Every structure is written in C-alpha cells, then in structure tokens.
Structure 1
Amino acid sequence: MAESLRVAVAEDEPFNLKRLVRLLREQGCDVVAQLEDGTSVAEWVQAGGAADALFLDIQMPGLSGLDLLAELGTSVPVVLVTAYAEHALKAFEHAAVDYLLKPVAEERLAVTLQRLRAGRSGGRGPVPGRAFRFPVRAGDGLVMLDLAKTTHLEFRDGAVWAHPGGPWRTLWKTLAEAEQALEGRGLVKGHRHLLLRPEAVVGVRNLDSGRLQVNLAGGAVVEVSRGAAPELKARLGIP
C-alpha cells in the first residue's frame, strides 16, 4: 500500500477544489486543509500549517501561487496547479516540486504523488543530483525532461535547447535564464552559449589556446573555452 501523504489544497474555484480533493483522497492522501485564496494560504502557513505537500493554484484572489511560492519561504513542498502551460517555466524557477495542468489527470497526479513520497525526507530547494525535471516544447504542448538525463544545454537560433540524446526546445529564451533556473544543480558553463553537466562527460582532449574538446554521453562533441576550462577540469578532477 502506498505511503499516506498529508496534503493541503489551495484553489479558488469550488468545483476544481472539490475535484482535486476527491482525487487526492482516492489516491490515499489525507487532506488536512482546503484553502480558497492566497491570503488564506499565507495565514495557514504563518499559523504553523504543516503538510507533506501543498497543491497550490497559481491564479487566486489576493496573492498568486507564484507570489506565495517566492515570498513565504515555506519548507512545505509545493505543487503548482493551473490551466495555463506558459506558467511552467516560472514554476520550476521557483523550485516547485511539480506542475500540474487542469483538469488534473488521475495518472499524472499519481506520478506527482510518487515523486513526493520519494523525496519526503528532503526539502524543496535545489540539491545537485536530486531528481529534477524541466519543461520543453513538444508540438502544441509540453513534456518534462529529467535533468539527470540531459548532457548539455546550448543557445542557438534564438532559444535554449536541451540535449538528452536529441535537441529539445526549452522555454528559456537566453542561457542566462537557464543558468538562473538551474542554479545550484551542478551545471558548468562551457562558453557563453553552452552549459554542461559534468557527470555526462566521457572524454576530454586538450586543444590549442587552452580550449578543451569534450565528448559527452550519447556521442555529442563540444568545445569548452579557455576561460571555462579550469572550472570543468576541477569538477572532473583533471589537473
């Protein structure tokens, strides 16, 4: 039997609140609080509200879900829930545990609960090596990529592309945005258009002028600039 989770739900639309509470209970969760606006959430947290997770609607009267996630500093893991896919990037920039689109599907909710149970002993801040996913475009929608399976990210053609074996267009418009969103997750800057995951490096060769040729898992070969080479070598334990 799946481990029970104590969860709170914040949703200003009564039908959506009732439905999500029902789905959570059907999947073995104990719903300890039902909150109808941002002010209620803030008061609940400040009063010492405790739960294994807070399912938080983004668009609510008063404080929005993103406002709360950025400002409250709560240690409660947050799952953002909204009807708007364009909020996905902001959700992960603010270290939300997950991001659910309305109407929430039972199968997708089950995945979120599995992730919450797996990470129950930890907080929600960035931790290198912990499972972390980010959204990328797929046709008219979005899919979630696992950072641990991503070898590198590069900026080209006006967008940041992720490479977990093939290029996927992320929602980040500049490499600086990607760096900010992924801060603390162990990536190294290869040059002004490249971020590398050191764990994906399978080979290194010195080039002229202090540059490096780097072979990555999956077969990609990239160059690292002279200025960035010392940090990458240090991370790899190369003298």
Structure 2
Amino acid sequence: MSKPYLTLIIDDEPPARKGLLNLLSHFPETFQVLDLAENGTDAKEKITKLKPDVIFLDIEMPGLSGFELLEQLETIPIVIFCTAYDQYSLQAFDTNCVDYLVKPIQLERLQQTVNKLKLFKKSDVVPEAVLKALQEISKQKEAKLMTSITVKKRDKLVFVKLEDISHFEADKNYTTIYTDEGTHLIEESLASLEVKLPANFLRVHRAIIINTDGVKEVQKYFNSRYSITLNNGKKSAITTGRSYNEAVKSWMGV
C-alpha cells in the first residue's frame, strides 16, 4: 500500500480550513495533513519547511495571493485549488497536474479528487501549466467585475451602485452593505463578494471590505494594525485585522 500524500491546507477563512480538514479525515489512506496555513506568507514558510506533496490552495487571500505564492515557490507541489470561482470555465484546468474544487466543497466531489490522485504521477507536475491556469482565471475575473449589487427587499429589487458603498461587514452567513442612504442585508459571503468586486475594494479584516475611494485617513493602531476612517456620513472607523496588514500596506504603498 502506498503512503498517503503529505498535505497542507491553505485558506484565509478559518471555517474553510476546518471544513476541509474534516473532509480530508474521511480519506486517511490518501491524505496526511501536516499543517494549516492562514495566508500566502504563512504557506510559503510551511511549504519550504514541511515539503508537502499536495497543497489545497485558496486563490484569493490577503497579502500574498495563491497566484503570487506559486510564483515564489522553487518547487511547486501538486496543487488542488479550493475557490469560489464557480463562474469560470474549467478549460484552464485541462492539465492533469491540478484539480479544482468549488466552495462549499462536497464529500462526493472530493472523492473524485482522490480517484484522480490514484492515477497521478509526481512527474506530471508542470509549474508552467499551473501558473498559466491561474493567469487565465485572473483574466476572466477582471472581465466579470460588477458595477452594482442587487438587493432583495420583500417584493422588489434594489440596485445599489458600488460607488455609493462605503464598506461591507459580514456577520455569519449575512453581509451588511453600508451607504450614506442606509444599510442593506444580503445573503452573500465576503469571500464571494471579494472575487467579484473591483480593485478599489479592499478586504482589511476577516469581516470587513472597504471602498478605498472613500477613505479619509489612516492611522497606526496598536499590535501593528491600522485605524481607517471612511469619508462617509458617519465617518466610520475601521480597525484592520493583523493578517491583512500586508494587503493594507501594499494598498498604501508603504
């Protein structure tokens, strides 16, 4: 019997990491999970140290994205993407070196990945093919950016322009949209929104995405975090999350 694949889970969402870890426990003969990584920088260090055979990789992460992470690796393991990009064509993944799991991941779908790995050879890993696949996704993402959000209000639909939105705040399975006219509640996760929003929207906290076009000022906060004041009617003050520091600093150009 062959040894299980040494495996690393990489995702910035704690529930996603926990959920995938639980799913992989159903296949102990296939996966031996070495560790979990909460962002690209953390993942790079752990890949270098632990040398996993397989990585389950989220594409959109603060600081160092999945795409940027793979570009920086000297040796790319077997890559299995875990992402909310359900609208993209799987043609970018027609190579045998990757698989593509759409969140929320189902046990039955993971079984297909296991079946594929049984036929897999380490020599099938082609770094250029992996990077080309991610580049294709990036191009499609840019072509599909939204300009407004549709909100259901009883028996009518309200179209909220992105330019009018100061920030989004998540609470469990719901997300609140903040505008000067008031708030709107939608049943969509921040991870899903983050995929579709244009570049001026920045995730600065596990539960918050801001419109950077509406930022009034940024001040240093304790524990290496930042306090961001928005230029909306309430002059909302947003405290960034520590794991999003690199993304915030990159946006500020520091």
TM (norm. structure 1) is 0.46
Higher relative contact order, chain-length normalized (CA < 8 Å, sep 6+): 2
